[in-house]
Structure 1
């Protein structure tokens, strides 16, 4: 057995032990804590608002934009946590490396609503406003309530990343010419 495989197996055992400790910590300290309820509530509220207010005739392209936003957000969140740039303290689902309400619900839905609303406004301007709101209001709020902890990250990086996510999602959604029933 090569040294790499032996070391990789040892690291995997350590990772499994840490995951077990994290799950126990979560069950004892996070599950049903107000931070946990916050994540559950923003998830339910965001999905409910989307179901009620999205444009049905644009559903396919909006969902494509949301899917693209979720994938990009999740990838960068995984990278940021892996590299120690930031961390989430109160996971809704501790088995997943991402803060699910943020990456898979809030970000996609606000991107979809940004595309849908204010039809006469330039998409690049809408992207700038969305990015500013996320980077300079939402993320600092999550930091204040200790859900999101900045380690080697700042709001300007989030601003740029959110803008890129919104623009890629918007342009990616245009590849679909399919109209919803």
Structure 2
């Protein structure tokens, strides 16, 4: 006998059955309308090309620090994106992976790679200036491009709100890469 209230378990189970049924219906739709179509291939291009470019042009002696900042960006951006989708603030079409509600090429590839490039170019220049530039490109050019492509559909969201979040995101990632607590294991 579980410690949790059986009525609560049953009620929550009902919610998850509805979510699961909707997910199955969406995957069926995605399989017929997105898989191997132009938006699928473009999404995968957005996912793979940034990493290939980063691997080729990264500052090799700073790879670990850059990856730490990039992975922090990946974690934070995908978490915020997931919350935004789940709360109905926006949604995506042309998903590369139908079982993840956030847009993987943006959260896992474009955002972290762009942050890593910004951090390695002119590393001694103002991080605030870089954060504002990164935020402006991401919020006003990137989101507009993805909206024009039809991949990103904001419902209850404004690009200005993204702008300030991107500034904070860059600041956190920049700070993480500047930690002086690294020592050999």
TM over 0.5: yes
Deviation of residue 178 (structure 1)? 4.9
Q: Distance in 1 between matches of 2:63 and 2:36?
A: 34
Cα displacement (A) at 1:73: 0.1
Unaligned runs of 5+ in 2: none
Which residue does the alignment assign to 2:149?
Answer: 145
* 1:11-39 CA distance string (max 9 Å, x none): 11111111110110000001112111111
TM-score, normalised with respect to structure 2? 0.92
Q: Quote the Cα distance in structure 1 between the aligned partners of 2:78 and 2:49.
A: 20
| Residue 51 of structure 2 is aligned to residue 59 of structure 1 | no
CA distance in structure 1 between the partners assigned to 2:81 and 2:54 by the alignment: 23
Q: Note the aligned Cα RMSD (angstroms).
A: 1.4
CA-CA distance at 1:3 after TM superposition: 2.6
1:30 equivalenced with 2:31 (yes/no): no
2:133 to 105, 124, 129: 129
Describe how 1:14-93 pairs up with structure 2 within 5 A: 14-93=18-97
- Pick one of 4, 9, 33 that aligns with 2:8: 4
Shift of 1:118: 2.3
TM value normalised by structure 1:
0.94
| Partners of 2:77 and 2:25 in 1: CA distance | 27
1:61/1:178 contact within 8 Å kept: no
> How many residues are matched?
179
Where structure 1 has 5 or more consecutive residues not aligned to the other structure, the ranges are: none
